[in-house]
Amino acid sequence: MSNDREAIVVANPWGQLRQHTPARIALGRSGISLPTGPHLEFQLAHARARNAVHLELDANKLMEGLTARGYDALVVHSAAENRPVYLQRPDKGRRLDAASRATLEARAAGVEPADVVFVVGDGLSALAIEENVLPFLDAIKPSLAADGWKTGPIVVVQQARVAVGDEVGEVLKAKMVVVLIGERPGLSSPDSMGIYMTLDPRTGMTDESRNCISNVRPEGMSYAVAVHKLLYLMTEAKKRGMSGVLLKDEAETLASNTLPASQNFLLGAD
């Protein structure tokens, strides 16, 4: 049977490169088509990506995790009433509903503004938030305390788009907002979390005012590297009074356990 398969499936000579990436490369072919195995794997990955988009965030479980870690946190909602509306009306996901805005206004009354407020949004992958937010917060918490950052409450926004963080930051009068949100699922990454940092957040800001760190997950950018990059951007934004396209990520690269910088995997071992 194995000999028959080898005669039917033509291997791709770049197959050895697959060990370096989850991307769908060097899959071989059967005639002019994909072999059955890779075809079924593609269908499974597509189903997982679709499920990630439609999955509802378990806000109660997330709040339990945040409370257990001693965080001051609350749950609010965007103007998108439910998941179907959220997917069809991105504009509603960028604003708070009236009740949530009133809740935050009451919270802000008589309280000294924070240096930074963290906003957690389900985005297009609640799975990414459920798997990555708590470990990431655990990783960054000691550095925030050591560097003297005054943090506000963690605001969990259901049916959230990135820009809703600007309104949250504006209402809470925060000097800076960091949005942790589920990214659009890819066929190899349905659980990727994005991080968006904005200085002086206010409603109506656009993407050029934000700095983005993408693909935060165990199989992508590690929590340690993401924390390192975010702290650099936060510190420089505070120092220079700017964020977004005017502020470049020039953080030094952390030491890695992967290939040495001088070794190119395309060229093989020395």
Per-domain boundaries in the chain: 54-246
Give, rounded to a whole angstrom, the gap between the first and last alpha carbons of the chain.
38
pTM of this prediction exceeds 0.85: no
pLDDT for 255 = 57
Owner of token pair 């938030």: 129
* Cβ count near 39 (within 10 Å): 13
CA distance 95 to 152: 20
Q: Give the SS3 label for residue 17.
A: helix
Instruction: Confirm or reject CATH 3.40.50.11240 for domain 54-246, answering yes or no.
Output: yes
Burial (CB < 10 A; 0-12, 13-18, 19+), residue 100, is buried
| DSSP letters for 204-233 | T--GGGEEEEEEESTTSB-HHHHHHHHHHH
Are β-strands 193-199 and 117-121 bridged in parallel, bridged antiparallel, or unpaired?
unpaired
In a structure prediction context, what are the per-residue pLDDT tens digits for the chain, which is 270 residues long? 445 555 576 776 677 777 777 777 777 777 778 787 777 777 777 777 777 676 889 999 999 999 999 999 999 999 999 999 999 999 999 999 999 999 999 999 988 999 999 999 999 999 999 999 999 999 999 999 999 999 999 999 999 999 999 999 999 999 999 999 999 877 667 889 999 999 999 999 999 999 999 999 998 999 999 999 999 999 999 999 999 999 988 887 765 544 444 445 444 443
Contact between residue 237 and residue 177 where contact means Cβ atoms under 8 Å apart: no
